[in-house]
Chains A and B, each alone.
Chain A
């Protein structure tokens, strides 16, 4: 049995290779195509044998017409003989006349024969001759056809030869009539021996004619018989062949049917998926082993039961509806994923797809093929993946994506059913310190513990998610603003009271929290998140460890908003390559060479060039300064290499770095690498760092500067004096230049305080061995004072207005400031 199944299966696959695997209908059409040549042959054979039978009947009838005609002619000839004989005996002219009249018949037959032998070009004359010879006009065409088509047949040939021989006798009769008449008219010549001779001849003719007539009739009958025999033989043969072909076709059809049936059942039985024939009442008629296995029941238990019987109670209705629906509408259908119950109570997920067993015969009431596929594993994996995709691995909290999804869902729902909710962003203050001081393990452990604590102080139904490393999001559902503030205040205090012990040390932490009440003026999720973010930053700005409720009216929040706009624009500009450098020359006061500072510009959508001061603050606040600096270093080095070749007089090129980039671990190696990549001599580079930025981590800055200086670069402290910077920096930090903030310089001419400030900065710098640069030198008065103070370099519009690098050029001669 197995072997048989295998064989048929392999035959099936061999055929499958020939044909493209297609839907069942295509294969069925293929089977019919298999039978088509046979059936065509049968039809052709039937048609041919039918035609042949008709033709042979025609010929048969023609042979009869010939026999009938011949008998008519011969009777006429016998009459002629009789009349002539009597004339020879009695000399009665009436006999002669009668003989001649009768003679017309065989003469006409002879004429017809000659016309036929000529190829009967003249069918009309032939017909006329036959009619005169006493044949029925209806028979003549048949006789002509017989002669035309069967003259080669031996029997017909013999008959025609006999007919032709008869001509001679007819001719003799004709002649004898004349001879006899001649003898009768000249009685002198006549004598008995002539009469006897003539009567002998007549007798001979009579005998011969009688014999020939018989022979002709015989030959024609034989021809008829032969035709009949041939027709019968052919018909019989055709019938046998047709029968055989039909039998063959039937056998082939049966074999095809059996094969496809076997194929079907083999497929059915051995299918790795559960299969069943199912009727319109969802009752299982036939089931395969895989199905029994899937449902973990014996086949006997399943057969005759409705499939919904084994379905999970919750899915039962849907399942019934699906099956009945499919059975009524038919066609290739959708799939239904639902749960089924096993006897042990476990649930298995399976995908049910249905197809009508016979797609041709409409759907309703018919059996359907049900395919049930175990999708428990994919289902489980999908669930797992969905969970993983939605949750943070460390804390097990929902992640940002899930948080945003929930927020959107809430907004969507809130649009229909109004209610107030609240959105919070929790940013842990100085979490980096924890990581740096105690290690990441400690940081992670803290986060886990802290998230538990946070979760504990939230209400049921509130959503806590970890959005980023030290950033959490909270969604307070159905919560008034006051309640929200209350809850979040409590949360804040929980966080600040939270004490985490790690290696015998207590770690404390605080959080800055931004809160956005979701009132009736619902916004989209990104806007809300942005607002929460702004509020959170405000909380940080205002001293940390506090909750800041977002408010549209606040100036600070508007500024935040603008800053965020800027961050967006910076990112866009980076992506669209809309950042540019302008160059501003720094002129030596007395001796020395020109320097040049590269100033970053952002080209806005409207073409306006924005200066770095407008956007770098935002970039720093929103942690994009590094990205900008990476771009700056990369492109500045490229530009410097190009321009320094053109302008070798410039001794040093100044590149601005954000304080956030002052980082030995990542930025420093990158910068050094870039310098090497571009092959710019480090001696010609000067990195400007704002002292405010450098303040944050003095140690880091010192290491950073030292490394760069070791390489040969110079370091300038930018905007010196602007912030709360102290002269101590000049001692602490390894720098080469001090750039005095424009704020002092601009008012130098009029403010004695500023003058004193600048002078002291310069003094101290000089003592520390640093050179000084005055920024924003915009008037001659200022210039003169600076000169008097002894400032080393000047920078500002009066010296040089920033321009595009390609337009950058040195003044022809060093302008001498007026004395």
Chain B
């Protein structure tokens, strides 16, 4: 974990609200990390437009031109019992702040496992924000006492694969999607103790 921590190139400033942080990048740019809100739908759509085609493919496994309002709404209005998402925005009043990164997790119907997805926009990449978002998602899952967390990653998404490998995920191919792997991490205590060791 130490090695992992050293790769962060920002510092966190607590804001006194759960899951909320102010982040200051090495460049001095200030960002806000907070749980997603239902009114983020339009901002998600705007942020989607900023993504490069490769980033879209890494996130959705196939090219999508635009996020539909319905999908945006469903991605932003979450049932807190089943899903959780964090967004990284500009440190501005909410209506002006653009969203630069999203990390989300949704519990499977079996209530034991959760699938995560993390996207960080091009201009915010390279600061370790993705790793941080995934760590916070793991933390949420732990609090929910889930057995495991997993995510689907394109097998050529080297950046993400690096993140999950360093966070102790195991990787195996996804039999349902060619060129997709599933990164999986057990959250149960035995594994956790190993992990801690």
Contact = CB atoms under 8 A, between A and B. Distances in A.
Interface of A: 165, 167-169, 171-172, 175, 179, 182, 189, 191, 193-194, 197-198, 200-201, 204-205, 208
A197 B175 contact: no
A168 B162 contact: no
Nearest to A197: B165
B166 interface: yes
Given A171-B179, A172-B155, A175-B155, A201 B170 contact: yes
Interface of A, helix, strand, loop or mixed by DSSP:
helix
Contacts of A179: 158, 161
A120 B81 CA distance: 51
Given A175-B155, A179-B161, A197 B171 contact: yes
Given A172-B181, A175-B155, A191-B3, A204 B162 contact: no
A169 B168 contact: no
Contacts of B179: 171
A37 to B, nearest CB: 55
Contacts of B166: 191, 193-194, 197
Contacts of A168: 173-175, 178
A198 B165 contact: yes
Given A168-B178, A171-B178, A171-B179, A193 B172 contact: no
17 contacts: A165-B175, A167-B178, A168-B174, A168-B175, A171-B178, A172-B155, A172-B181, A175-B156, A179-B161, A193-B165, A193-B166, A193-B168, A194-B162, A197-B164, A197-B168, A200-B171, A204-B170
Contacts of A205: 172
Given A172-B155, A197-B165, 16 more contacts: A168-B173, A168-B174, A168-B175, A169-B173, A171-B178, A179-B158, A182-B158, A193-B3, A193-B165, A197-B168, A197-B169, A197-B170, A198-B165, A201-B171, A204-B170, A205-B172
A171 B173 contact: yes
B3 A204 contact: no
Nearest to A198: B165
B133 to A, nearest CB: 19
Nearest to A161: B175
A172 B179 CA distance: 8
Nearest to B1: A193
Contacts of B3: 191, 193
A205 B181 CA distance: 12
A194 B158 CA distance: 12
A652 to B, nearest CB: 140
B192 to A, nearest CB: 15
Nearest to B155: A175
Contacts, number: 48
A172 B169 contact: no
A467 B104 CA distance: 146
B175 A204 contact: no
B172 to A, nearest CB: 5
Contacts of B168: 193, 197
Contacts of B169: 197
B1 to A, nearest CB: 9
A171 B178 CA distance: 9
A198 B170 CA distance: 8
Contacts of A182: 158
Interface string B155-197: 1101001101110111111110011010000000000000000
A208 B171 CA distance: 13
Interface in B1-24: 3
The 9 closest A-B pairs by CB, nearest first: A168-B173, A197-B165, A194-B165, A201-B171, A200-B170, A172-B173, A175-B155, A204-B172, A165-B175
Contacts of A193: 3, 165-166, 168
Residue among A167, A182, A197, A205 with most chain B CB within 10 A: A197
Give the interface residue-count category, chain B: 20 to 34
Interface string B73-109: 0000000000000000000000000000000000000
Nearest to B177: A168
Contacts of A167: 178
Contacts of B170: 197, 200-201, 204
Nearest to B166: A193
A205 B155 CA distance: 15
B169 to A, nearest CB: 7
Interface-central residue, A171, A172, A191, A193, by most chain B CB under 10 Å: A193
A141 B164 CA distance: 45
B154 to A, nearest CB: 10
A191 B4 CA distance: 10
Contacts of B156: 175
A167 B164 CA distance: 23
A282 to B, nearest CB: 96
A168 B169 CA distance: 18
B131 to A, nearest CB: 13
A10 B138 CA distance: 98
A326 B178 CA distance: 93
Nearest to B183: A197
A189 B170 CA distance: 18
A107 to B, nearest CB: 14
Question: Which of B173, B174, B181 has the largest count of A CB atoms less than 10 A from its CB?
Answer: B173
B139 to A, nearest CB: 19
Nearest to A175: B155
B134 to A, nearest CB: 14
Nearest to B180: A168
A197 B156 CA distance: 17
A196 to B, nearest CB: 8
A201 B172 contact: yes
A189 B172 contact: no
Contact of A171 (B155, B158, B164): B155
A171 B168 CA distance: 22
A175 to B, nearest CB: 5
Contacts of B158: 179, 182
Nearest to A192: B3
Contacts of B165: 193-194, 197-198
Nearest to A172: B173
Nearest to B170: A200
**Residue among A167, A168, A204 with the highest chain B CB neighbour number at 10 A:** A168
Which among B166, B172, B178, B181 has the greatest number of chain A C-beta atoms within 10 A? Answer: B172
Interface in B117-176: 155-156, 158, 161-162, 164-166, 168-175
Nearest to A165: B175
Contacts of A208: 172
A199 to B, nearest CB: 10
Contacts of A191: 3, 166
A507 B107 CA distance: 159
A134 B156 CA distance: 29
Question: Which residue of B155, B156, B158 has the most chain A CB atoms within 10 A of its CB atom?
Answer: B155
Contacts of A201: 170-172
Contacts of A172: 155, 171-173, 181
A158 to B, nearest CB: 14
Nearest to B161: A179
A361 B69 CA distance: 99
A414 B34 CA distance: 157
B126 to A, nearest CB: 14
Contacts of A175: 155-156
A713 B12 CA distance: 173
A189 B171 contact: no
A330 to B, nearest CB: 85
A201 B169 CA distance: 10
A200 B181 CA distance: 14
Nearest to A174: B155
Contacts of A198: 165
Contacts of B161: 179
A671 to B, nearest CB: 132
B115 to A, nearest CB: 19
A200 to B, nearest CB: 5
B147 to A, nearest CB: 18
A189 B179 CA distance: 24
Nearest to B174: A168
Nearest to A194: B165
